[in-house]
Structure 1
């Protein structure tokens, strides 16, 4: 009854179905890996809210290159953990990161290099400031001065952002759209650590004009939904092949042929 499945045409259908199902299973597994990775990030974010800060160099290796170079990136398992370090702010090389949204307002994040005792620096995201009233997205806002002298900072360790974009110097400040540490390091007169610190606490205290940059959780459940979707599609493709094959078998066996007219007159009358 199912001998037709061994014909070249149906063997081709089977091969296409199996390949399609395998691709869908692969995509589901890929989304599962992304779900696990994003879940791990959310767990580190939550754990960092209560953990004691570790010394910066315990989580982020010191850069070993010369001026204008970036050090190694932090290990994934250490991103979003709390760190602390002490140094002096370099107010001559403030970085404005434009196009950053907080509370549905587009403004600027302000990064300032903190020069450490070994002569290298780590970028510190001191917080978010709103745009100039009446200005546009590129109008530089007034930036509160960084404390002079020795400063101790505590915050979350964040990896360099992917992507690039130009880094320009305008009115004495560097400007960019992405916190790409390798690109920013080229504009600085010292070696820069491969991750930056999102400020949480500072001694002396940070200027109240800064608004804390919120740490958002990743949408890991979206990836889990994609896992279910792709695996369902894989199963449906196999079920669909079986359904079409069964229908073809019934057709060849004459089981799905047209039915003759029903003689209602021959039926017994209802009492």
Structure 2
């Protein structure tokens, strides 16, 4: 009854169905892996608020030469709460334009904090609005405090897609906080990640940390696995129809036989 499954056409269909099903399972597993990665990031973000701050040097590797960038930390170090002590260098302050907080456009003010050993870490002191509510008008931001200060914040990895760097209103102006490019503008070694200050000064807004959409990846994983099962079920359903004589070829054969005998063809028997 199912000998037709051994014909070249059905064997080819079986191979394609199994191959497609396996690929869909792998895609589902990849989405599940992304779900776990993003869930771990969200857990670190949530835990950082209540976790005690650890020294910056215990999380990031110390850079070596002036104008160079230290090693980039792994994803598992992102959002770790750290503490670091040093002196702000306002002469190399950075304004990152076109940054949005609560649907308002403004600037993030990033200032190098020079440590006692001569290295520096970039501190995102917070967000300030532009003067005219656009991404071009320069911001009004209070200068960093003088003298030695201790900063508590969370580790933020360098942003990708670097943009050009110019000097404007006494600050370096850029669109992206890309550490490999910003480090070249600094007269000292720079750590491979920057720090979002947890308690910005008056006039600054804290930079919000967005959670990863892990549930979207979880949903995609389930969808791919369902598609894999559906492909196999569709093959089995089509094979059963063929075995019962409901396949396209069998319907055409019945119509041709009816024509030869001169009998009317029922509507349900008409070929597709």
Give distance in 2, aligned partners of 1:11 and 1:107. 62
In structure 1, the partner of 2:120 is 121
In structure 2, the partner of 1:56 is 56
In structure 2, the partner of 1:181 is 179
Quick check: 1:5 aligned with 2:5?
A: yes
Answer yes or no: is the 8 Å Cα contact 2:106–2:134 preserved in 1. no
In structure 2, the partner of 1:219 is 213
Give the structure-2-normalised TM-score.
0.87
In structure 2, the partner of 1:249 is 243
Give distance in 2, aligned partners of 1:255 and 1:27. 37
Matches within 5 A, 1:1-271: 1-64=1-64, 66-133=65-132, 136-201=134-199, 206-251=200-245
Give how far 1:151 is off: 1.1
- Unaligned 5+ residue runs, structure 2? 256-262, 265-272
Give distance in 2, aligned partners of 1:232 and 1:38. 22
- Unaligned 5+ residue runs, structure 1? 262-271
Residue by residue, what CA displacement relative to the aligned partner does 1:11-68 show, whole Å, maximum 9, x if unpaired? 111121122112211111111111000000011111111011001101111112x222
> Closer, same or farther in 2 for the Cα pair 1:233/1:252, shift >3 Å?
closer
Give the structure-1-normalised TM-score.
0.88
Provide runs of 4+ in structure 1 moved above 6 Å. 252-258
Give distance in 1, aligned partners of 2:213 and 2:137. 32
> Closer, same or farther in 2 for the Cα pair 1:221/1:252, shift >3 Å?
closer
Residue by residue, what CA displacement relative to the aligned partner does 1:123-177 show, whole Å, maximum 9, x if unpaired? 00000001112x6312221221111111110011111122222222223321222
Partner of 1:100, secondary structure, is strand
Give how far 1:187 is off: 1.4
More helix by share: 2
Partner of 1:186, secondary structure, is helix
> Closer, same or farther in 2 for the Cα pair 1:147/1:224, shift >3 Å?
same
Give distance in 2, aligned partners of 1:19 and 1:191. 52
Aligned pair count reads 255
In structure 1, the partner of 2:259 is none
Give distance in 2, aligned partners of 1:81 and 1:210. 22
